[in-house]
Structure 1
Amino acid sequence: MKTLAQRLQQIPPSVSRAFRDFRYAFRSWLRAAALTLFPEPAPVRVVNRPRPRFRSR
């Protein structure tokens, strides 16, 4: 029979592994949902506006 200290040492890796698996599954679900909503990236036009010049006094 394992002691309490030995059991406490085993809990964090299993919990962190469960959270990591959940995070991976959630990100995969988000990626799939995004691909159905936005199948291809929208074109982006970059406009570089000139900065206004301030008059010196």
Structure 2
Amino acid sequence: MRKQILHELKRLEKFEKIALNSIIVDDLNEVEMKFIIEKIFEASDMIVRLHKVLKELEDE
């Protein structure tokens, strides 16, 4: 379980970096930018949740 959570955390963090970079580098219209920002927030929320679950598993 811990290994799967760590794998998902790495995947989400990589997505976050790529998405943030695309906002900076790519010439996006307003709709595209809003969509990417929304997905970044969703990924950030999931990262926080997974860190909490990981901490709970380590405390057991």
TM-score (norm 1): 0.52
Task: Tell me how far 1:17 sits from its aligned partner.
Answer: 0.3
Structure whose CA Rg is larger? 1
Question: Hey, what does 1:21 align to over in structure 2?
Answer: 46
Shift of 1:9: 1.2
Q: CA deviation at 1:25?
A: 0.7
Q: Distance in 1 between matches of 2:34 and 2:50?
A: 26
Identity, % of aligned positions: 6
Report the Cα offset of residue 31 of structure 1: 0.5
Q: Of 30, 38, 43, which aligns to 1:5?
A: 30
Provide structure 2 residue ranges, at least 5 long, that are not aligned to the other structure: 1-27
Structure possessing the higher relative contact order (Cα contacts under 8 Å, 6 or more residues apart): 2
Aligned residues: 33
Report the Cα distance in structure 2 between the residues aligned to 1:8 and 1:26, rounded to whole angstroms. Answer: 27
RMSD: 1.3
Tell me how far apart the structure 1 counterparts of residues 42 and 35 of structure 2 sit (CA, whole Å): 11
SS of alignment partner, residue 51 of structure 2: helix
